[in-house]
Structures are given as structure tokens and as C-alpha cells.
Structure 1
Amino acid sequence: MTKPSSPPLTWTLSGFGDEIDDDPDVQAAVLNALGARHIEVRAAWGTNIVDLTDDRLAALKGVLDRRSTGVSAIASPIGKVPVALPVEHEVERLGRAIRAAHALEARYIRLFSFYPAEGQDPDDIRDDVLVRMRALADVAEREGVILLHENEKEIFGDIPRRVLDLVEAVGSPALRLAWDNANFVQCGVRPFTEAWPLLHEHVEYLQVKDAVASTGEVVPAGSGDGELLETVTALRDTGYDGFASLEPHLADTNALGGFSGPSEFGRAARALRTLTDRIGVQLS
């Protein structure tokens, strides 16, 4: 008797809407056309998510509801600031990000782990970073949200060793990892070979972009040195069934984000589907 095959895994497709357009209605329309019913919100109408008023948040919720589009995560800039700022600075901004998360019915909030001073060794700011991340995690625990630390170049948690130290030292169920292959490449790290073995147990969310090691140029998934195929295969094999959020950065990159436009965003989405089709994972 033939054993019935298991149904394929399904990952939930999402993407950074402000990489498409400033208008959230256009953001959601393009994502819908690409087969996504979720959006990662970093900015709307040209305003960062932590700076939207209550009225604007309500208007954004109305736009997304009309498009039957949920919010996969709040892509906040929390922690993308100098560690020298007082603890209260980012705790207050996290409060605004949490307000947005509740208004938009999102569970996840992306954040970062602070910049050292110019010329300072990131290892020297470890204690200050942990104090701040613990304070942020305490707030998240009380508010019922999960913080997703993104491995971003030039912050404390840019390389695998420090990312692992951070998440284990804070030790909070409200602090997990958003995985970004391209950012590891830009730090001189082979993402699957060097980072995955250390960090995979803490990964909660996939941000999708790739990069070329020799130049740092961001390219569609599978076109660079980010070991995307190996990574998504390993995620599949762990039974991962979460979000795959496109952050293409194909037209412009800056300190607070990037831009792609509808056409390039579509190219990034097709590249991801090529990979997931290859490993037998569905995107919806």
C-alpha cells in the first residue's frame, strides 16, 4: 500500500510595502497582484510607522482591510540609533511601534541592536546593548508582541557570534530573530554555512533579499552569494511555516530602508517563487 504523501508546506508571502510606493493602497494592490495577502509596514504616505498618528493608523487599517491584506510585521527603526542615547529613547519609540502593531493587528515588530560610536569596537558596547534590549523585551512581554531582531550591518548584532550572544543573553520569549541573508553577505558572512548552524533555533521570520559578496550589491533571491537555496531548503526541513517577506532593495538603498518600485518588486517576487517551487514550498 502506498503511503499518502504529506501536503506541501505553505509560507505566507509578504513584503515591505514602502519599497513599492508611498501610497499604501498601491502597496497593497501590487502585493495582491503578486499573490500576497500580507504586508510588512515600514512607512505609509511617506511617514515612518512609528510617526503615524492614531488617525493615520486608522486610515491605514481601513486601506488594508479594503484590500483584505493583513500585516505580517511592523518594520520599525527601533535600535537603529547610537547606543549612547538613553534607554528611555527607544523604549518610548517602541511604545509607538506597539501602538501601531495593536492598531494593525500585527504580532511582530522588527528592531535592531544599536550602533557603536565611530571607530568603536562593537564588542565594547555589549553591556549597554543588553540593558537596552532587555528593557525593550520587558515592554514587549507585557504588551504581547514579539520583537524580531534583524541582523543589520554595522550594528552590534551584525555577525552570527554577536547575534547569538544577544538573543541568548536577553533570554526573552519576546525576542526572536528575523533572518536576512543579504545583510550577512554584506558583513562578510556566508549565511547558511556560518550563521545558520548557530542561529537557526532562534529564527522566527524570513526577510528575503540576496547580495553579491564582492560588491555588496543587493540582487534578487538566488542571484547572489547569500546561499538562499540552502537556507530555504533548511527552513523547509525544520517545518518552518511562517512569513517570507520581500525586502528587495533593487533600485535604492539608504540607512533607513530601500526602494524597488512595482516592476523590480515583481522581479524579486518571481525570484523567490523560483526558489520555493524548486524545494516544493507553496507561497500564499
Structure 2
Amino acid sequence: MKPCIITDQITQNLAIASKTIRDHGLHLVELHGIEGKSVECLSEKEAQSAKALLDQAGLETASLATTLFFMAPLYDDYEISLFKPEFAVFRGSIQDHLKQLDHACHLADIFGCSILRVFPFRFPDNRPGKKGGTEEDLDKIAHIMKQAADIAAAHGKVLVLENCPYSHLPKGKMTQEIVHRVNSPALKMLWDPGNSYRAEVTQVPEKWLGLRLEEEFQAVKDDIGHMHLKNYHYDDTKAKPFVHVGLLEGDIDYGSLLPKMAALNAAVSLEPELEPDACVRDMDGLVQEAREMA
């Protein structure tokens, strides 16, 4: 098992996050938000400074959690907005994102990692009732991801496409379909079971519904290049019924799922989306789980 955490789950101050992560027994990190910037937006000088902090703490980088292709409208008439203002992102057209991917691959060289997270495009605000993952969506996303995979391959990098509930492809089986259509060693899946669980079923075509999480894992495991961990408790009395909770406290049975995930040769990265103290508790729990499975 390769336990990992996204550093900004502790704080976007990388010096503090690195020390906290090291002191709690993890040695592998994923990078997203650093001092208000998404990692793909760093300059080379900023990346070198960040790498020095990680080296000082004895930490290695598993993945760059870029936001590429999230805040890019999939279609010209789409209106998209950010679900959380503090979530650091890169914005622009599809071509802007492809160009920024080339820069992000150079940054990955600085951080000494080969994996970069990408997204299957933000769901539109101005299309009520639309279902994501239609054949038209799949064709277009696969076409763009083929271009992205070619850029990554030229740099010797691998893109991992995250199933995201705010995107056109919230279910793992949906992102797997893109991986199969592109058919490139430079594109794999980032499987997030929490995201699959909290997908808005009214936005997902019926053909992609029905699999329980352990069934989805068995179906997609051979295409996974990276994984995220979070948990929810569903409370239908709340306006936002999917409530973030500790990793081993929610509706997803990680006691059963984690050993199966751990058997893969991929990093398993915490993204609890909780307050920092709760994230630290989750980190301690993941370290203990990893020790027990070793």
C-alpha cells in the first residue's frame, strides 16, 4: 500500500503541511493548492522552492493534482462556475488547458513524479436537466484526452482522469470508458470511490448506474493509476445531504474496500475535505491501516 495525502488538506502553506505530514508518519504526498495557486500554475522557480521544502521534510511526490480540463467549457455555449471559491484552479479554453498541460509536465520533472491528475470537464450551470456522459460528451472528451495523452507521452508522463461529481463523468465506469476509447499508456484512471458514491444520479445516464462501489472497483481496477480517499454520510434532512466525515466513519465501507485498493501498485491519497485537525486524524488512521496491511 502506498499511503499518501494531498498537502493542502492540511494547509496551503507547504512548509507547515510538509512538517505535519512527516511528523505523522507519511512520506508520500500529492500536490494541488500551494499558497493560493493550483500546482500547474506555479512558475518553475516556485516549483523548485516547493521541491526544496519537500526534500527538507523527506517527502516524495506521487502526483500533481492539477485542475486541467475542469474549468474549461466542453461546449461553446456552456456557462460554468466554481463550486467552492477557495478551490485553486486554472481557467481558460480547451486549447489553453492543453498548452498548460505541457507546462505542468515540465513541473512534474522538477517534482520528480510521473503522474498528473486531469478532469472530465465541469458540468454546466445553464443546462438544467442535462445528463452528463452522453455519447456526444464521451466522443468529445475522448478526442480531447487523446490530445492530452499525446502531450503527456511526449514527456514520459501519465495522466489520471478523475471521476468527479461536478463533472460530466462522475462515475468510475464513465472515466474508464474514456481510458478505453483513448487506448494510450499515457492515460489511466484516478478512481475516487467517494466521488462515485456522491454522484448526482439525476445527472447520470441510466446505463452508468447500478454498480455498488466494490463491484465498480472490480470492474475498473486494471485501469487505475491513482486513487483518492474520502467518505460521506448521507443525511436527507440537509440541503446538501452528502456530509463529509472521517474516512472510517461514513457510509463507504473502507474496512472492506481498502485492502482491495492496497493490492494495486498505485498511491492511495487522502482527500478528506475536512477541517485540518480531522484530516490529521484521518492521516493517522491511514498510516495505522497501512501498517496493519503490511
- Give the structure-2-normalised TM-score: 0.81
Residues 182-214 of structure 1: per-residue CA shift (max 9 Å, x gap): 111111676533411321111122211111244
Partner of 2:238: none
- Code of the aligned partner of 1:265: C
1:21–1:160: structure 2 CA closer, same or farther, 3 Å change rule?
closer
Task: Please give the alpha-carbon distance, in whole angstroms, between the structure 2 residues aligned to 1:271 and 1:217.
Answer: 19
Partner of 1:71: 61
Task: Please give the alpha-carbon distance, in whole angstroms, between the structure 2 residues aligned to 1:54 and 1:101.
Answer: 10
Q: Is 1:204 the equivalent of 2:225?
A: yes
Q: Is 1:247 the equivalent of 2:276?
A: no
Partner of 2:198: 186
Residues 154-199 of structure 1: per-residue CA shift (max 9 Å, x gap): 3122124422211111111111112212111111676533411321
Deviation at 1:44, TM superposition (A): 1.6
Q: Give ranges in structure 1 of 5+ residues lacking alignment.
A: 1-10, 252-260
- Code of the aligned partner of 1:73: S
1:53-68 matches, within 5 Å, as 53-68=43-58
Task: State, as a whole percentage, how many aligned pairs show the same letter.
Answer: 18
Q: Is 1:230 the equivalent of 2:251?
A: no
1:160–1:63: structure 2 CA closer, same or farther, 3 Å change rule?
closer
Deviation at 1:149, TM superposition (A): 1.1
Structure 1 residue aligned with 2:25, among 31, 35, 47? 35
Deviation at 1:80, TM superposition (A): 0.8
Partner of 1:255: none
1:155-170 matches, within 5 Å, as 155-170=167-182
Task: Please give the alpha-carbon distance, in whole angstroms, between the structure 1 residues aligned to 2:53 and 2:123.
Answer: 39
Contact 1:181 1:191 in 2 (8 A): no
- Code of the aligned partner of 1:272: L
Contact 2:171 2:195 in 1 (8 A): no
- Code of the aligned partner of 2:36: G
Partner of 1:173: 185
Partner of 1:272: 286
Task: Please give the alpha-carbon distance, in whole angstroms, between the structure 2 residues aligned to 1:170 and 1:156.
Answer: 17
Contact 1:73 1:107 in 2 (8 A): yes
Task: Please give the alpha-carbon distance, in whole angstroms, between the structure 2 residues aligned to 1:240 and 1:128.
Answer: 30
Partner of 2:100: 93
Aligned residues between the structures: 258
Residues 245-269 of structure 1: per-residue CA shift (max 9 Å, x gap): 1111013xxxxxxxxx2x2221111
Deviation at 1:52, TM superposition (A): 1.1
1:153–1:101: structure 2 CA closer, same or farther, 3 Å change rule?
same
Deviation at 1:13, TM superposition (A): 2.4
Residues 121-147 of structure 1: per-residue CA shift (max 9 Å, x gap): 321422211111111011111110111
- Give the structure-1-normalised TM-score: 0.84
Aligned alpha-carbon RMSD (Å): 2.0
Task: Please give the alpha-carbon distance, in whole angstroms, between the structure 2 residues aligned to 1:20 and 1:185.
Answer: 24
- Code of the aligned partner of 1:242: A
SS of the residue corresponding to residue 279 of structure 2 reads: helix
